[in-house]
Structure 1
Amino acid sequence: MARVTGESRHAAARGVIDLRDRRALLECQVADPAVAEEGRRLKEAALLDFGVKDSVVGSWLYAKCHHQIATAAVDTAAVVAVGDGSCLLLYNPEFFVRIGPSGVRFVLFHEARHLIHRHLYVDEGLRADPVFELAAEVAINHVAMVRLGRTELPAQEVPDGLGGTRREPVGVDPYKVHRQYVADLSEQGLTPLSYRDFVDTDLGVYGELKRMRQPPVPPAVCIHMQLAGAEQGQGAGPGLPMDEETLSSIVDATLSEAMRAALRGEGIAREEMLALADRTAGGGRRLERMWGRMGLAALRGETPRTRRVEWWRRWLSDVLASKLREGERLVYPKKQGAVLLALGHDPMLSRRGAERTKVVVVALDTSGSMPQQVVDWITSLVGRTDGVESHWLSFDGAVMPFVPGERVLGGGGTNFQLVVDYVEGRLEVKGRRFEERADAVIMVTDGYAPKVTPAHPDRWIWLITDGGDDWPERHDPPMACHRVVTGDS
């Protein structure tokens, strides 16, 4: 509910203002211009601190709020996502002045994190649960206090009903909620978690609160909680405009830009993104895929276990197709050429048909521990590619051509150079040299052998098995390389 300009905090409220209506928001101003200016200054200082030392995610997100409106139409602060693809930051300058600089940083951090939280946990049934809403408040405020170096919530002066004032905390206190949780579970004879374990992950907070007989769902203290019922059609109120498509676009872009900063080595971004990823543990396959796309494994310095065989299959198909892209061959049309010569014209070459049959060599390192189903799939991939002639090798300390289905025996040692020499026609095997020109060479190996430099590195594709050395992608020039999780099927 908005307040009439110039009226006190407890004066009669004016009618509801549509939070998408920028003109109405701008017209609903606080009475004192000095307070409005101080609120704006506090907001700008907080956003500057985000970019410098507090929150790369918050800095990027608010950079996308092209309209930042001081208004009395909201009691605290809120970001709204409207249907035209834009986001608006709305804030009440009087509220910002009451809570001071550190309080403003806290509230804006909370608001940014609320949007991230809503985007990450998109299940409508989950978001409609008031216990999940409480869990979100607990998780967000805990992270805000940790990242901003606070030991308690910000507070503001409010009337005490006796003619004086008292300090009242702003928001849900995670420590207080944990104490209530401990008391509830102890009465049930259950073992509660310590505070540190209780707040470890976002969904962990939710799961523990659901163990309570009476989760302490508070009265609406956050604007999101105030308006959640209205948004879900459960009561009167203006509702918080939150266009899901706009929100998804803004938050995806924010997280992607923060991850790029983290991968560039920016310390604050790295710390924040790793912490955010850890807090979403157990959030399901959608979140796993999202973090995988963003490069979380590279940030952690580990091989992504999410790259299952299904992914390397697609990768190999795409890479192989790019190397075997069909061309056309030039031909001399004899009959048409004779006619053209008789008429005094120069004969013309024409393009007709595929350039030639493509040649693919598949070389299996007998020490690579590649399961049979993977070999079978590579066989089917090459076999069903039109215009492709396949040649199969096994190798260790020697090169041994074979036909798929034959038993492959291994010996000792591994020598990549022998494969290079054979494919490039310099090595005889059983009295014969390889006389074809390979368009692609697929090497299936653990990568542990002296490095090699083929004459045409762009034609080589390396599949590195579990625990192997993916040096080919660091080669100069780099070669196509992918790690295969051989335990997957």
Structure 2
Amino acid sequence: MAYGDRVRPRLPVVELTDRRALERWRPADPDTVEEARRLKEQALLDLGMTHSAIASWIYTKCHHQIATTAVGTAAVLASGDGTCVLLYNPDFFVALGLEGVRFVLFHEARHLVQRHLFADRELREDPVFTLACEVTINHVAKMRLRETGLPTIDGEPVGIDPEEIHRAYRADLDAQGVGSLDFAQFVATDMSVYRELGRMRHPPVPGPACVHVLLDDTGLDQETVDRVTSDVLRSVLIAARRGNGAAREELLDLLRRTEGAGERVDRLWGDLGAHALRGVTMPTRRVDWWQQWLVDVLASKLREGERLVYPKKRGALLAALGHDPMLARRGPERVKTIVIALDTSGSMPDQVVEWLTELVGRIDGVEAHWLSFDAVVMPFRPGERVYGGGGTNFGVVRDYVEGRLAVKGERLDEHPDAVIMVTDGHAAQMTPAEPDKWIWLITPGGDDWPERRHPPMACHRVRSA
């Protein structure tokens, strides 16, 4: 149903996955379309810069963003062909203005996340849960976007007002003669809103009003939603682990809001490794999610390369014209150099070393340089015995990696794409020349100072069992 309506809408007038039909359906005035597009672009920029890393990443997955009067407001569709589409009514966006457009785009992005986290059909078909989603999403939108109220058109608020729903909830429970929660307790988590609305004799449904409610079973393919949303949350998690304060704050807020939602939601967060943001692991699971984190971070640091080739046809033509043959560049070819440094002065879980060895072996085209170190650097090959036990000095690894330190008369003549440090972290802190290329795996009981240092470095704790 359309954003802001309180009645069940008509079915879409055209097939919402037919992009050409959407664009052709009763097109709006060209000036209105252009203004709506400008507002949409500015709102997306604002979301990405200051307000919501999750919303910004979701809209990067919407390769088609279509202005159409076939929808009354706005919607994000995840279709069975694996694509996401943003639909928006240009007249609606122009009437809302920039702040309103930003609010609606945040709202629609959050609904995609909700659909991913709370994917059980019985929940999606429950109108009380639908209302609870509208309440929680609009409350979070107001907080994150620092808005005092809902968007308005001609002075009238558009959408479900969380405070209004809370007042109706308290009046209903007061009439029953039972206790109710204050507003802060009421909206504490997504499930608290759903639970408390379920205590009402007459919940105000079917009140929620968004196109996506109508499209749950026709326009939102769950497999696509899960894939896109998992990719988005993982990307935001990596940004948070690298020191992006806005991404970290938003993920922590989302974690808090989904507390008590059940084992499935906890499992989703555990598979992503998001509990690490607040120092909690899943005690009933044996998923070493730091491994997935390392794969994702490492992949983001490996650079694209090129290779030189001799173009036969072009070379023959140049030779016929009397020119010297020339090599040409062709790519991309993955060129990866990794330095893996193991701190042998402290405890080193064997399975961490084994898994790192397997990881390097699985990455196509990677060249790995293995080091053990305590107070000195000792290069070795996987399978060889490593020695250590003295004091720890991270500076010797830095100096070796940056080409200032020779070991047995030899220097590292490669420029590494990434440096993986496996250590307990207990030594004098240091800052490398390129901190964004360093990845720290901290063993149990260790000090994770690299992520607290400025600039922060990628850092994660690993488990010993």
Instruction: Quickly name the TM-score band, shorter chain normalised.
Output: 0.5 to 0.7
Give the deviation of 1:481 after TM superposition: 5.9
* Rounded Cα–Cα distance in structure 2 between residues aligned with 1:133 and 1:67: 27
For residues 245 and 423 of structure 2, what CA distance do their matches in structure 1 show?
35
**SS class of match (1:140):** helix
Instruction: Give the secondary structure class of the aligned counterpart of 1:52.
Output: helix
Q: Which amino acid aligns with 2:463?
A: H
Pair 1:111-2:108 in alignment = yes
Distance 1:452 1:100, change over 3 A: closer
Contact 1:68-1:90 within 8 A present in 2 as well? yes
79, 86, 90: which one pairs with 2:87? 90
- Structure 1 residues 197, 311: closer, same or farther in 2, change over 3 A? same
Matched, 1:55 2:39: no
Calculate the aligned-residue CA RMSD, in Å: 4.5
1:174 maps onto 2:166 in alignment? no
Letter of the 1:482 counterpart:
R
Which residue is 2:378 aligned to?
none
Deviation at 1:28, TM superposition (A): 1.6
Q: 1:262 aligns with which of 240, 250, 262?
A: 240
**Aligned equivalents of 1:66, 1:309: Cα separation in 2:** 36
Gaps of 5+ in 2: 3-9, 292-346, 352-382, 394-421, 425-442, 451-458
Matched, 1:482 2:463: yes
**Contact 1:131/1:217 (<8 A) preserved:** yes
Question: Which residue is 2:187 aligned to?
Answer: 199
Of residues 28, 40, 50 in structure 1, which corresponds to 2:37?
Answer: 40
The structure-2 alpha-carbon separation of the partners of 1:474 and 1:204, relative to structure 1 and needing over 3 Å to count, comes to closer
Q: Is the 8 A contact 1:220 1:226 kept in 2?
A: no
TM-score, L = length of structure 2? 0.62
Contact kept, 8 Å, 2:136 with 2:187, in 1: the verdict is: yes
Shift of 1:30: 3.4
Displacement of 1:32 in angstroms is 1.4
1:30 corresponds, among 27, 30, 41, to 27
* Match among 242, 247, 271 for residue 293 of structure 1: 271
SS at match of 1:172: coil
Runs of 4+ in 1 over 3 A off after TM superposition: 225-228, 307-312, 438-441, 449-453, 471-475
Shift in Å at residue 220 of structure 1?
Answer: 5.5
Aligned residue for 2:243, secondary structure, equals coil
TM-superposed CA distance for 1:226, in Å, is 4.3
CA contact under 8 A between 1:17 and 1:73: conserved in structure 2? yes
Alignment check: 8 A CA contact 1:178 1:198 kept: yes
- Taking the aligned partners of 1:96 and 1:19, their CA distance within structure 2 comes to 19
Q: Which residue among 226, 235, 248 is the counterpart of 1:248?
A: 226
Q: Secondary structure at the match of 1:306?
A: coil
Q: Can you give the 5+ residue segments of structure 1 that lack an aligned partner in the other structure?
A: 3-12, 158-166, 232-238, 316-364, 366-377, 379-437, 442-448, 454-459, 463-467, 485-489
The aligned residue for residue 317 of structure 2 is none
Question: Whose Rg is larger?
Answer: 1
Distance 1:14 1:184 in 2: 33
Using structure 1 for the length normalisation, give the TM-score: 0.59
How far 1:305 sits from its partner (Å)? 3.5
Partner Cα separation in structure 2 for residue 125 and residue 68 of structure 1: 31
* 1:405-446 Cα shifts (integer Å, max 9, x gaps): xxxxxxxxxxxxxxxxxxxxxxxxxxxxxxxxx9899xxxxx
How many angstroms does 1:183 deviate by?
A: 0.5
C-alpha contact (below 8 Å) 2:160/2:208 kept by paired residues: no
1:470 aligns with 2:445: yes
Higher RCO (Cα < 8 Å, 6 or more apart):
2
Sequence identity percentage:
50
**2: CA distance, partners of 1:262 / 1:227:** 32
Task: Map residues 321-400 of structure 1 onto 2, 5 A cutoff.
Answer: none
Residue 246 of structure 1: CA displacement?
1.1
